[in-house]
């Protein structure tokens, strides 16, 4: 019997599990996929919004403002990247000015640091802004993280401190008992006093397993993006927002913590919560729209496209509450944008405002085990690199030629809590395959390393999901 079962190993569930690991209680995470951070967390804009945008009176606003304050320290604790790169909302015509000024007033009312800039001031700060920019609003507290790296690190950190992770456990049925829940998955049965439903796109289905309520549901939306090759400096330093319209925040130009640049997203409703495909029309839309605010975009440096799915709720707000007819069953649902920015605040709220009213949260007395950061050699100086090589020559065997990633770095992230078991898992932790060759040169080497370290045949190495085998058989020889 666990005290807490978290369903879903995305950023929301990960941070809640990690925060619970600071207290005297037993915690387990159930995840349907074979790796964490695999759903909504792996397909979004990676932004820590300032809080200027959500509607007044919403949980989105409350959580976003608090989350923005929390992320930088959280990243320090997790030892992952955080970049407070700032953002600009730009008006590209006189007609857009009233909307910009309204947003500016809203930001001031919320005490979000902001400043209106005229054309020259804006261009001086971001020389690649469109020449049509009339005015812009500077939002210096906006930041960037790597969503999946943060999520993976949080779960690793939680596991270092006692949390259990069960992958490949798709929840099929939940039985409500007087003082606990029995959660049936594709792999087993788990019992817990509390259940935290952080199941992303499937949160309404999980909720439906314990409740007859239909007070909210999820209507997924898809957003598509281009990823440009690393740039130094990036074409824009700040994230550039067009003015939001009824279709969402519009097409953004977003640097990343790795100095790539994201272009997107569009926003389209979809029926299938697994339909993360790219479509011709959406990519054309992004291509067309993106030049509205920024000029000189090197579209020829595009290295990949992707699509992210958002668990948009029917109430248009986050659902963060104990279920109305299921005690100790806590919904953390409909966490669409600004969900990533809000995630640490959501976890804080769940512990302080919901759990603490029903469970005595007592801090652990033993010291916390700190997470050892990933080894990133291309950010080290020669001496530090040589010291690693002196310990293990695998750090001198280069696997990825685009980003200079060594075999040692890859082996390290396989043998950790929440370690990589798939080619995509390796890519999301230390990036071989994320560069301009997209794995063309390193993938065969990564497959061989995974097979050797996991003691399986290369034929059993997966790209991603359980049926995503890469190699089919040996050649005739």
Partner 1 sequence: MKTYDLVVIGGGSAGLAAAISAYDNGVTDILILERDKELGGILNQCIHNGFGLHTFKEELSGPSYAERFITMIHDRGIQFKLNAMVTHLSDEKVVEYVTPAEGYVRIQAKAVILAMGCRERTRGAIAVPGYRPAGIWSAGTAQRYLNMEGYMVGRKVFILGSGDIGLIMARRMSLEGAQVMGVAEIMPYSNGLPRNIKQCLEDFDIPLFLSHTISRIEGKQRVNQVTIQQVDDKMKPIAGTEKVFDVDTVLFSVGLIPENALSEEAEVKLHRRTKGPIVDESYQTNVDGIFACGNVLHVHDLVDWVSQEGTKAGKAASRYLKKELVEGGSTIDLDAGIGVGYIVPHKVNPDNIGATVECMFRVTRTYKNVFVKVYKDGEVIKTVKKRAMAPAEMENIVLKKEDLAGCKKNILIQVSEEQ
Q: Which residues does the annotation mark as catalytic?
A: 49
Phi, psi at residue 390, to the nearest 5°?
A: -60, -35
Phi, psi at residue 268, to the nearest 5°?
A: -135, 135
- Which neighbouring-strand residues pair with 144? 47, 83
Nearest to 158 by CA among 428, 465, 416, 342: 416
| 212 or 383: CB nearest partner 1 | 383
Minimum gap (Å) between residue 223 Cβ and partner 1: 15
- Which neighbouring-strand residues pair with 438? none
| 138 or 443: CB nearest partner 1 | 443
Tokens matching residue 361: 């949260």
CA angle 206/207/209 to nearest 5° reads: 70
Cβ neighbours around 69 below 10 Å, total: 13
Give the burial class of 202: count Cβ atoms within 10 A of its Cβ; 0-12 exposed, 13-18 middle, 19 or more buried.
Answer: buried
| 270 or 437: CB nearest partner 1 | 437
- Which neighbouring-strand residues pair with 4? 27, 194
Give the burial class of 305: count Cβ atoms within 10 A of its Cβ; 0-12 exposed, 13-18 middle, 19 or more buried.
Answer: middle
| 130 or 276: CB nearest partner 1 | 276
Beta 189-197 vs 261-264: how paired, if at all? unpaired
Q: Which residues bind partner 1 (CB under 8 A)?
A: 226-227, 274, 276-280, 283, 302-306, 382, 385-386, 389-390, 393-394, 396-398, 401-402, 404, 406, 436-441, 443-444, 448, 458-459, 462-477
Minimum gap (Å) between residue 249 Cβ and partner 1: 22
Minimum gap (Å) between residue 463 Cβ and partner 1: 4
Minimum gap (Å) between residue 272 Cβ and partner 1: 10
Write down the residue that tokens 């407070």 correspond to: 84
| 172 or 277: CB nearest partner 1 | 277
| 29 or 405: CB nearest partner 1 | 405
Minimum gap (Å) between residue 270 Cβ and partner 1: 13
Minimum gap (Å) between residue 457 Cβ and partner 1: 10
Distance (Å, rounded) from C-alpha 376 to C-alpha 363?
33
Minimum gap (Å) between residue 233 Cβ and partner 1: 14
- Contacts for 157 with CB less than 8 Å, ≥ 6 apart: 18, 21, 77, 78, 370, 371
Centroid of chain to Cα 326: 29
How far apart, in Å, do the first and last CA atoms of the chain sit? 53
- Contacts for 274 with CB less than 8 Å, ≥ 6 apart: none
Q: Answer positive or negative: Cα dihedral of 122, 128, 133, 134.
A: positive
Centroid of chain to Cα 431: 15
| 332 or 405: CB nearest partner 1 | 405
DSSP 245: B
- Contacts for 170 with CB less than 8 Å, ≥ 6 apart: 32, 185, 186
Minimum gap (Å) between residue 153 Cβ and partner 1: 24
| 279 or 417: CB nearest partner 1 | 279
Centroid of chain to Cα 436: 22
Write down the residue that tokens 């320090």 correspond to: 76
């Amino acid at each position: 019997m666990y005290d807490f079962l978290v369903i879903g190993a995305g950023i929301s569930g990960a941070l809640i599990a990690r925060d619970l690991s600071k207290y005297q209680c037993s915690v387990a995470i159930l995840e349907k996929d074979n790796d964490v951070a695999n759903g909504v967390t792996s397909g979004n804009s990676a932004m820590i919004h300032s809080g200027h945008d959500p509607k007044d009176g919403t949980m989105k606003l409350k959580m976003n403002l608090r989350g923005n304050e929390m992320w930088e320290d959280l990243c320090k604790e997790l030892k992952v990247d955080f970049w407070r790169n700032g953002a600009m909302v730009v008006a590209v015509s006189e007609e857009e000015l009233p909307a910009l000024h309204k947003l500016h007033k809203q930001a001031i009312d919320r005490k979000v640091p902001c400043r209106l800039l005229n054309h020259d001031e804006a261009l001086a700060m971001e020389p690649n802004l469109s020449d049509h920019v009339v005015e812009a609003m500077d939002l210096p507290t906006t930041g960037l993280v790597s969503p999946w790296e943060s999520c993976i690190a949080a779960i690793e950190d939680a596991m270092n401190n006692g949390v259990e992770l069960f992958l490949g456990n798709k929840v099929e049925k939940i039985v409500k008992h007087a003082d606990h829940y029995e959660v049936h998955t594709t792999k087993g049965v788990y019992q817990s006093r509390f259940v935290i439903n952080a199941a992303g796109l499937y949160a309404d289905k999980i909720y439906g397993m314990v409740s007859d309520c239909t007070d909210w549901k999820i209507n997924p939306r898809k957003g598509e993006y281009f990823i440009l090759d690393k740039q130094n400096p990036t074409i824009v330093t700040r994230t550039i927002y067009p003015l939001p319209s009824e279709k969402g925040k519009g097409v953004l130009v977003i640097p990343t913590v790795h100095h790539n640049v994201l272009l997107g997203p569009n926003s389209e409703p979809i029926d299938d919560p697994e339909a993360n495909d790219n479509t011709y029309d959406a990519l054309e839309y992004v291509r067309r729209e993106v030049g509205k605010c920024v000029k000189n975009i090197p579209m020829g440096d595009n290295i990949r496209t992707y699509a992210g799915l958002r668990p948009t709720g029917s109430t248009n707000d986050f659902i963060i509450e104990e279920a109305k007819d299921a005690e100790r069953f806590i919904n953390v649902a409909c966490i669409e944008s600004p969900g990533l920015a809000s995630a640490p605040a959501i976890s804080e709220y769940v512990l302080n405002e919901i759990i603490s009213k029903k469970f005595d949260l007592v801090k652990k007395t033993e010291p916390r085990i700190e997470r050892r950061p990933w080894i990133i050699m291309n950010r080290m100086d020669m001496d530090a690199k040589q010291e690693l090589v002196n310990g293990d020559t695998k750090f001198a065997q280069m696997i990825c030629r685009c980003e200079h990633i060594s075999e040692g770095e890859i082996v390290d992230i396989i043998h950790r809590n929440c370690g990589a078991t798939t080619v995509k898992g390796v890519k999301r932790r230390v990036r071989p395959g994320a560069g301009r060759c997209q794995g063309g040169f390193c993938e065969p080497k990564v497959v061989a390393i995974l097979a050797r370290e996991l003691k399986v045949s290369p034929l059993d190495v997966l790209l991603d999901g359980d049926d995503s085998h890469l190699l089919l058989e040996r050649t005739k020889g």
